[in-house]
A and B are shown apart, each in its own frame.
Chain A
Amino acid sequence: MSSVTWKLLNNPITRALASPLSVDDYLSQFNPLWSVGDVRGRIERVERETADAVTLYISPNSHWAGHVAGQHLVLGVEIEGVRHSRCFSISSAPGDTGITVTVKRNGDGLVSNYLVDRAQAGEVLFLSQARGEFLLPDGNAPLLMISGGSGITPLMAMLRELVHQGREADVVFLHYSNSYADTIFHGELRALAERFDWLNLKLVISNGAAVEGDHSGLFSAGQLDELVPDVAERVALLCGPPPLMDRVNDAFLAKGRDKPAQEQFQVRITAAAGEGRVSFSRSGLEAAGDAAPNLLELAEQQGLNPPHGCRMGICQGCKCRITQGQVRDLRNGEVRDVQDEEIQLCVHTAAGAVSVEL
């Protein structure tokens, strides 16, 4: 059904008829994809990329507003009936039919392991709209895309978008991978590099030997200069595991350049013990600020169940109003006073007395 149909179904009368439940509470009983406003999608097929990575081909319902290459979404999946949400980059280009998300096993991560091993065609996913500021730059400046491991996904979307647009953008695509077997999109990368002169693929294998034409080792400033002599003239884009991102950022800073535009999915958080008392104004509960690593876990410890998503400061799912108080942002350690402001509970801790509207 088109989104116009849904708009018609979501009017003051239908809402009054469904009240106090929502129109969706009824619609979803008939088809889990039906909603008057929420984005949901069905997995059409699952394709294996490597032993530890799969690509999910998802057809979203008509509420999906599209994306720009490089953006991510919050993906909710029911595992044994319990909904779990995580952020994933969209690996398809905006012009493709449907969207794809490429997932690599993340250690013992429940969601990534489920998606890699058990996700099946037909499953319904709960999606957010696309979000994120890590985008393919406009214009004709030469680009340097640096990625590591599964960090390739947003850059792959950009590469595919360049192909769609027929934009001969002069791209150096520098990708770090543990081994050939672990290289996501290996075949497609080779084929694109073969086909397009404007794409210069530099594949670096960090564990083991590289074949002729590829490279081996870990990222270093020296290697960057060697592989990309004109690095100074290129607009750089970066996505990968934190150690790689640290090294790349340091190398750029050492050259007196800004850090590359980047997307980081593993947010590094400074562990800082909470201070003061936290009061939850709606439930009347109180707790010591240092009883949990962040305000979200503190609330959960008190038996509260605030809505949340990624639990790592990305998806904004746990945003909650602070009536008043002093909080520490765990991403940069900064302490600030807030009043009637919504903050992400999962990346903040109390830095004094805090009153949370929960």
Chain B
Amino acid sequence: MNAAVKNLTPKTALDTTPSRGWRHLSAEQVEAFGAEIEAIREEVMNSLGERDVKYIRRVLKTQRYSEIAGRTLLFAGFLPPAWIAGTALLSLSKILENMEIGHNVMHGQWDWLKDPALNSSTYDWDNTCPAEQWKHSHNYMHHTFTNIVGKDRDVGYGIMRMSDDQPWKPQYLAQPFYNWILASFFQWGVALHDVEFERIGRGKSLAEARTQLKQIWKKARKQVFKDYLLFPALAGPGFLFTLSGNATANLTRNLWSYMVIFCGHFTEGVEMFSEEEVQDETRAQWYLRQLLGSSNLEGGRAFHILTGHLSHQIEHHLFPDMPAHRYAEIGSRVQAICERYNLPYNTGTLPRQFATVLKRINRLALPGRRRAAAAA
């Protein structure tokens, strides 16, 4: 019997930990759960068509027009209303481009359109992180090894303690503070993500890291040049207005994407896993881990679009290559399946979910384990 199945043996009378909410399922039940999730995937993927195309084309249009309008307004940034409107539109455009377009295109959600402008192998996003590295650290490492401490580098981005399975170090005492620096410069955190500084010399060669850094520099340089030199220079005397507008838009996008992403995996009740737990995992067990390791955000249609539908983090982790706007349609079905199998379906409003993320960051800054502390 392998480790993964061992973990899925029926619960004992003693095991009532609510957060380990799958142990009441037998291995057969887990497979049945996986088959039901798979059936939803089949159904949706077979029904993709013109409606989906219209949706993404509309998003693209909105993003491009808001970017053009925003950047144009910033040329008149010496007028406060123009600066505010321009910065707001540019922020909107950057959020749409990174979240609903870039992230999702790079997952291959729109490859079936065969449109070279929306192809996962060639798309690059408006972010300092090079697409190729993102596809490795995010699509492959994070989505395959979701919430596995020591493998999924989204767990703390190599600098924060987000799970009590990570051994405590004194530097974590400062994490309630530098968490906000990461949030403000989130695109840079994402950009440097795949370099894995802490692994250099330990399983990763310096040469490999240098190649990656060169690639990041090549991309970041263009991003910095565009937002902080070229557009401001075109504004002439309005240099500083455009510069500050662009910087504010990048900051807004950074804070927003940080918040959405941290709410996806670090809220209260989200599971972390060890490498031993997931050895020889079946597809159904993988689905189960994705469900237990993700949490959703509640909100209206516009809110979901602005999060790139990562507000449906659970559905996204179950079906990373499904066009994201479909998540909202299948969410209630996934939730109903979870209810039938008596599995958690972690969802809440952004303020509520984010408060639990901050609680986790603050608690884990201190040594010790949360559960031990809670039991004590």
Contact = CB atoms under 8 A, between A and B. Distances in A.
Interface of A: 13, 16-17, 19-22, 24-26, 28-29, 80-85, 282, 284, 303-307, 358
A20 B124 contact: yes
B140 A284 contact: yes
A16 B60 contact: no
Interface string B105-127: 00010011111110111101110
A29 B65 contact: yes
A319 to B, nearest CB: 14
17 contacts: A17-B230, A19-B222, A20-B125, A20-B126, A20-B219, A21-B126, A24-B117, A25-B64, A25-B117, A26-B64, A28-B117, A81-B57, A81-B113, A85-B114, A305-B121, A306-B121, A307-B122
A307 B116 contact: yes
3 smallest beta-carbon distances between A and B, as pairs: A81-B53, A305-B111, A20-B124
A20 B113 contact: no
Contact of A26 (B68, B125, B126, B231): B68
Contacts of A22: 117
B371 interface: no
A85 B114 CA distance: 9
A13 B222 CA distance: 11
B43 interface: no
A84 B112 CA distance: 10
Contact of B50 (A20, A28, A80, A307): A80
Per DSSP, chain B at the interface is: helix
Contacts of B108: 303, 305
B304 to A, nearest CB: 22
B52 interface: yes
Contact of B52 (A24, A81, A284): A81
B61 A17 contact: no
A82 B56 CA distance: 12
B204 interface: no
Interface in B48-93: 49-50, 52-54, 57, 60-61, 64-65, 68
Contacts of A19: 222-223, 226
B180 interface: no
B197 interface: no
A83 B115 CA distance: 6
Contact of B230 (A13, A24, A303, A304): A13
Contacts of A21: 124, 126
B54 A16 contact: no
Contacts of A16: 222, 225-226, 230
Interface in B187-233: 219, 222-223, 225-226, 230-231
Nearest to B127: A20
Given A16-B225, A29-B65, A305-B108, A82 B113 contact: yes
Contacts of A84: 114
Interface in B122-165: 122, 124-126, 131-132, 140
A29 B119 CA distance: 17
Contact of A29 (B61, B122, B124, B231): B61
A13 B140 CA distance: 35
Given A20-B126, A304-B121, 16 more contacts: A17-B226, A20-B219, A21-B124, A24-B117, A26-B68, A80-B53, A81-B50, A81-B54, A81-B113, A82-B112, A83-B113, A305-B108, A305-B112, A307-B116, A307-B122, A358-B121
A17 B68 contact: no
A61 B322 CA distance: 35
Nearest to B97: A21
A342 to B, nearest CB: 15
A306 B125 CA distance: 19
Contacts of B113: 81-83
Nearest to B139: A283
B222 A29 contact: no
A284 B141 CA distance: 12
Contacts of A81: 49-50, 52-54, 57, 113
Contacts of A306: 121
A20 B64 contact: no
Nearest to A76: B114
A17 B226 CA distance: 6
Nearest to A308: B114
A112 B340 CA distance: 48
Given A305-B119, A307-B116, A17 B231 contact: yes
A13 to B, nearest CB: 7
A164 B124 CA distance: 48
A29 B126 contact: no
A20 B53 contact: no
A22 B124 CA distance: 10
Contacts of B230: 13, 16-17
A338 B230 CA distance: 44
Given A21-B126, A29-B60, A303-B108, A82 B219 contact: no
A82 B53 contact: yes
Contacts of A358: 121
B150 to A, nearest CB: 20
Contact of A80 (B49, B219, B223, B226): B49
Nearest to A80: B50
A283 to B, nearest CB: 8
A25 B125 CA distance: 12
A282 B116 CA distance: 18
A304 B140 CA distance: 13
A298 B51 CA distance: 29
B41 to A, nearest CB: 13
A28 B118 CA distance: 13
Interface centre among A28, A84, A305, A307 (most CB of B within 10 A): A305
Given A20-B126, A20-B222, A29 B50 contact: no
Contacts of B120: 305
A340 B122 CA distance: 20
A37 B91 CA distance: 30
Nearest to B114: A83
B135 to A, nearest CB: 8
Nearest to B50: A80
A320 to B, nearest CB: 10
Contacts of B225: 16
Contacts of A83: 113-115
Contacts of B49: 80-81
A212 to B, nearest CB: 50
B269 to A, nearest CB: 31
Contacts of A13: 230
A38 to B, nearest CB: 9
A198 to B, nearest CB: 45
Given A20-B124, A305-B108, A82 B64 contact: no
